[in-house]
Amino acid sequence: MKLYYYFVIIIFFLIPNQLFADEPSNWLKNEIDKILMAYQNKELPNENRFLMIEQTINNNFAGTGIAKFVAGESWAAANNDTKKEYIKNFKRHLALNIASMMQGYSDQNYKLSKSKIDQKNQIILIDMEIFSETGSVVVTWRVKESKNRYFIIDLIVADISLVVTKRSEFNSTLKNVNYNLSKFNKILLEQNNESYQKIIE
Amino acid sequence: MKNKFYIIFFIIFSLNSNVLFGAASDQVNTEPDDFATTKVEDEVYDPIEPINRAIFTFNNAADRIVLEPIAKGYKKLPSPIQSGISNFLSNLRAPLVVVNQILQGQGGNAVQSTGRFLVNSTVGVFGLFDVADKIGLDEKEEDFGQTLATWGVGDGFYIVLPLFGPSNLRDTTGMVMTMMTDPINAYVVSEGEAWIVPMRTAANAVDQRSKIIDEVNALRDNSVDYYAAVRSSYYQNRKAAINNTNDDELTPLPLISIEFE
């Protein structure tokens, strides 16, 4: 019985995304379910749970684009190796942020309540309503389509954009290191290690 | 046996997920000048940042030691009790919400909020039950900070208030106006029961904090600069509240392009 359960989980994670991508809401629901399922499976070791979630996030977020956006002006002056290292660090940072946020929602019900297309910017907005016993919270996912694939470019909770907040936060730290991306990489790596320890403990 | 299973599971998972759909996202590339083309504001006017950071550190410690544990305890109360307290506190704010809606020229909303207050104060047993919501009278929050902004008063500089948290010059003025004009506070003070005022403020803080425990922890645990993250969050949230942002007018759209190599 237990083996059957694991088998179902493996198959679920391995099914190609595009089978669910008839429309963006279905695709997003499938990806969110993967993350929540990882949290709901209490038998998974924390390290492995996070790796699964990180994989899902990296597959579905426009990580490089967001990394570059939040780096702001420091991006231009950095060399290629620094940029590569920064993107790698940022992707993990993004995964840690999303995983940490979704952890709080893992025992709650949700529904994707609304989906609309921002024609001007060619962005798909999908509202996710998360229900608790005392109310609900709406998370809006900003999704962009590229070459028949969907990528999440931002998510908004209580009118607060994750990407805009990260850019402001990074900008403040970058200012202290004279917008040197190489120095910033060390700070980001250190923060990632700290966050990682918290999420797996 | 269990460990072996996990190892096999993750090898298969990692290999396949990369092959099937992981590779494409790793090759996402962007235009070289994306960072320069964005219109998103990065800087918040914060001339007293060193002082603000010191107060923020104090507030953060107070939150960890006092507010968060109390809010977590409050979260363990049966949900009808939590909802009752939250509804009651919210109903007490309603008269000033109506005043601010009138001052902002939101006649329709003011009528609706008055209706909410009357229904919830009577049928809803002194506001313990949000009956009005069930008959379509939605809750809308307005305060003096928002009213001043509507009248054209600028943000002023960013301030972190001891215990009260992030604010700015305009919103702090609004908060003082709220304290001075709140009819419930005025009534309890006139009755010689002034102790109720700080108790009410504390209850509001616990109630509000209990609703964002996970979000605050996620932000706190994963920020390279928690102070800057809170500052940005505060401004985004206030901007949306002032503009009465609906779903169609979200925060500014970051210009993030996606290209494949």
- pLDDT per residue as tens digits for the range A43-53: 888 899 999 99
8-state DSSP, B20: I
CB atoms within 10 A of CB A68: 24
| Burial (0-12, 13-18, 19+ Cβ within 10 Å), B66 | middle
- pLDDT tens for B82-95 read 999 999 999 999 99
Q: Which amino acid is at B154?
A: G
Phi, psi of B56 (to 5 degrees): -60, -40
List chain A domain ranges.
2-200
Question: What pLDDT, on a 0 to 100 scale, did the predictor assign at position A132?
Answer: 80
Chain A 48-67, residues with CB within 8 Å of chain B CB atoms: 48, 51-52, 55, 58-66
Specify the range with the lowest mean pLDDT, choosing from A152-156, B6-10, B120-124. Answer: B6-10
Helical spans, DSSP H, in B106-195: 107-122, 131-134, 144-150, 169-181, 183-190
Residues of B in contact with A169 (CB under 8 A): 223-225, 228-229, 232
Question: What pLDDT, on a 0 to 100 scale, did the predictor assign at position A97?
Answer: 93
Given an 8 Å threshold on Cβ–Cβ distance, is B40 in contact with A48? no
pTM: 0.84
Instruction: Name which of A131, A141, A168, A186 to mutate to probe chain B: the one with the most chain B Cβ atoms within 10 A of its Cβ.
Output: A168
Given an 8 Å threshold on Cβ–Cβ distance, is A66 in contact with B256? yes
- pLDDT tens for B112-134 read 999 999 999 999 999 999 999 99
Mean pLDDT score, A92-111: 87
Query: Among A123, A89, A139, which Cα is nearest to B218's?
Result: A139
Residue B80 has pLDDT above 60, yes or no: yes
- pLDDT tens for A126-152 read 999 888 877 788 889 999 888 888 999
Question: What pLDDT, on a 0 to 100 scale, did the predictor assign at position B10?
Answer: 46
Q: Which among A59-68, A148-157, B29-38, B159-168 has the top mean pLDDT? A: B159-168
Given an 8 Å threshold on Cβ–Cβ distance, is B223 in contact with A135? no
Instruction: Name which of B28, B130, B235, B238 to mutate to probe chain A: the one with the most chain A Cβ atoms within 10 A of its Cβ.
Output: B28
The length of chain B, given as a count of residues = 261
CATH number of A2-200: 3.10.450.710
Alpha carbon distance A168, B239 (integer Å): 15
Given an 8 Å threshold on Cβ–Cβ distance, is A100 in contact with B221? yes
- For A44, name the nearest residue in chain B, comparing CA atoms only: B6
Note whether B86 and B53 are within 8 A (CB): no
